[in-house]
Structure 1
Amino acid sequence: MVKKRQEGPKGGQAVPEIREVAFAALAGRLAGVEVLTLAELRERADACLLATPHRPGFHHLLLLDVGRLVHSVDFREHVLAPGDLLWSRPGQVQHFGDLAGAEGRLVLFESGFLDPATAAAARVEDWYGPAVRRPQGAAARGVAAAMRQLHEEFGALGGLPLEIHVEVLRHLLAVLVLRAAHPDGQAGDDDGACRASETYLRFRDAVERDFTRSRRVADYARTLGYAPRTLSRATEAGAGVGAKEFIDRRVLLEAKRLLAHGDQSAARIADRLGFADATNFSKFFQRRAGTTPIAFRAAVRSGAGAAA
C-alpha cells in the first residue's frame, strides 16, 4: 500500500495522510474473510503500515494467546494481555505496537460476509462498542474454541466443495462474533436494561446523524421525545458516561480523524463540525484533548499517536 501524499495549503512539502486500507484476499483464497496467526502477520504485512496509523475498511478480531501487545484504536491505546480479545471496526484509525513476542490469531472480515441476522445480533456496526473485551472462565474457553475452529477450517480449503466451505466459515465466524459481542454470557434480558438500551441506542444513532449540527443534550431530548435526564441515565447505563460527555467525545473523535486524515485548516474543520469559528473549536479541542489541533496533527503524523 502506497502512502498517500497531499500538497500543503501553501504548496509546501507534501504531508502524508493516514492510509486507507481495503480488504485484499490472498491469491486462491476467499474474498471477505481471512484468518492468520500473528507470526504470519509479521511475515507478510508491511511493518511500516502496521506501526503507523492506518484506516482499514474491514473488521479486525484479534485473540492474544502469548505475550503483550499494544494496539491503538481511534487514537486510544490499549494494552492486551493473554486471553484479551480486540475488535476494531471498519473506518477506525488504528496501529499496532511491537509485535515481537506476541502470539495469537487474527480474523479479518468484511461486514457483508456475515448474514444480516448475525450482524444485527452481534451489533457488528456498533462503532461505540468497546475495542477490548476480557472474557473469563467458560466465556473465555468458548471464545478460544470458536477462534481455533475457525482458523482450522480456514486452512482446510479443498476439504469441502467451495460453496460448503464458505458456509461453514460463515457459521463459524458467526459463533465467534456472537461470543465476542457477549463475553460475559449476558443477553440483557432485564426489562429495565432493555428499555435503557433502546433509549441509549436511539440517542446514539441520533448523535451519529446530527453531532455536526448540535452538541446540546436538550436538542436531542426534544427530537427523541425524552427528558434530558432520561437520556443521561440511559447513556450512563449504555456507555458509562453522561449524554453531554457522549456527544463531546463523538465530536472530538471526528475532529481527530479530520486532523489526521488531511490538511484542512482549523477554520474549515470548525465549520464542518458546527462550531461558530476556529477559536471556539480550538478551545474545545484543547480542553478535551489536552493539546492544540495543530500539535495533535503533528503528533499523529510523526507516528507518536495520541490517546483519546
Structure 2
Amino acid sequence: MVKNRHAGVEGIPETPFTAPAGTPAGVEVLSLSDLRSRVPARRLAEPQRPDFHHLLALTSGTLWHTVDFAAHALEPGCWLWVRPGQVHAWGDLTRAEGILILFQQDFLDTATTAAARTDDPHAPALLRPLPDDAAALRRAAEHLTAEFHALGHLPLDVHTAALRHLLSVLVLRLAHLTEPAGPPTAEPGAAYLRFRAAVEKDFTQTRQVEDYARTLGYSARTLSRATLAATGLGAKEFIDRRVVLEAKRLLAHSDRTAARIADHLGFSSATHFSKYFHKHTGQTPIAFRDIVRG
C-alpha cells in the first residue's frame, strides 16, 4: 500500500512504503486502476519523494510522468524506473492502464542489487526496449504479477522467495537496457561507488573533494579519475550537480525561503548560495522558483 506522509508546507512530501496486509513486506504489484481507486488524483499530481522503487509499464493509453524536472511521455512498450529519493509526480492517469511494481531497496538480494545497480541515482528513468526485449519484460512482469496475486498457494516464505527471484529477473533485464551503446564499459570501481555514497550522505555538509578524499582514504586525484571514468564528470562537478539538484527540488517543491534552503545545504549565507546557484544554472534561486512554478 502507498501512503503519503507530508513533511509540512516547508518540505517535500515523503512517501514511505507500507506492504498490504497479509503480503510479503517489501514488494507490491498493482494496476493503475488499483492506484486510481486508492489515491486521489489531486494527491498523485503532487510532487513526492518515495523511499522505494517504482517500475511502471503501460498496457494501453499514454501518460506523462515527471521525474526530477524531466517530463517523460510513456506509451505501451516502454518502462519508467523511479528510484528512492527522486522527486516525481503523476500525470493524468485516466487515459492509461498498466502495471506498477513497488519494492524496497533491500527486498532484492545483494548480488542482484549490485549487478542491476539499483542504488544508482543517475541511471536513466525512461527505458525504451527493442521489441524482443519488450516481449521478455512483459512476460517477466506477467509472471511476477501472477505470483504476487497467488498469495496462500505456497507457504509465505516460499512465496516471498519466488517473488524475489521473479523481480530479480525483471530488474536485471531492465538494468541491461541502461547500459550505454557501443563497446562494453568497465564496471564502476570501488572508489567511485564509495564516493557516490559519501556524496549522497554528506553533500549538505561539504562540497570539497578533499574532504571526501580524507574521509574515504583516497587522494583527491584518485576520486576525480574514478568519477570521470564512471560518469564523465570530475569529482567536483559531480558534487556540485548533486547540490544543485537538491536546491532545485526544494525551490520547486517546498515553501522554504532561499535563506533556509541555503542553511540546509550548508552555505554560509543566502548571498553565497545565490551566487553558487547562478553560477551553475544561469538563474537566481528566486527566478528559478518563479519559472518552474509557472
2:258 aligned to 239, 262, 266, which one?
266
Unpaired runs of 5+ residues, structure 1, are: 7-14
Q: Is residue 231 from structure 1 mapped to residue 241 from structure 2 by the alignment?
A: no
User: What are the Cα deviations for residues 89-140 of structure 1, in whole angstroms up to 9, with x where unaligned?
Assistant: 2222111111122222110111222122222222222222222222224333
Q: Which residue of 2 aligns with 1:11?
A: none
For residues 271-305 of structure 1, the C-alpha deviation after alignment (integer angstroms, 9 at most, x for no partner) is 343434211211332454455434555677x6x6x
Matched ranges for 1:49-68 at <5 A: 49-68=43-62
C-alpha distance after superposition, 1:201-225 (max 9, x if no partner): 3443343344335445677678633
What do the CA deviations read for 1:34-62 (whole angstroms, capped 9, x no partner)?
11122222222221121111122211011
TM-score (norm 1): 0.78
Q: Is the 8 A contact 1:3 1:16 kept in 2?
A: no
Partner of 2:167: 173
**Which residue of 171, 182, 193 maps to 2:186?**
193
Identity %: 55
The answer to which of 283-292 and 51-60 deviates more is 283-292
Count of aligned positions = 289
- Match of 1:29, SS state, is coil
Q: Matched residues in 2 for 1:57 and 1:161: separation? A: 28
2: CA distance, partners of 1:216 / 1:80:
39
| SS in structure 1 at match of 2:118 | coil
- When normalised by structure 2's length, the TM-score is 0.81
Match of 1:251 in 2: 243
- Segments of 5+ residues of structure 2 without an aligned counterpart are none
Q: What's the secondary structure of 2:18's corresponding residue?
A: coil
- Corresponding position: 1:138 with 2:132: yes
Q: Is the 8 A contact 2:49 2:85 kept in 1?
A: yes
Alpha-carbon separation, structure 2, partners of 1:226 and 1:170: 39
CA change 1:185–1:141 in 2 (3 A) is farther
1:84 aligned to 2:78? yes
C-alpha separation in 1, matches of 2:19 and 2:198: 35
Pick the aligned partner of 2:31 from 20, 29, 37: 37
The 8 Å contact of residues 3 and 17 in structure 1, kept in 2 or not, is answered as no
CA distance in 2 between partners of 1:265 and 1:184 (Å): 37
How do residues 1-308 of structure 1 correspond to structure 2 at under 5 angstroms? Answer: 4=6, 6=8, 15=9, 17-183=11-177, 193-194=186-187, 197-198=189-190, 200-215=192-207, 224-225=218-219, 227=221, 231=224, 235=227, 238-259=230-251, 263-289=255-281, 291-294=283-286, 296=288
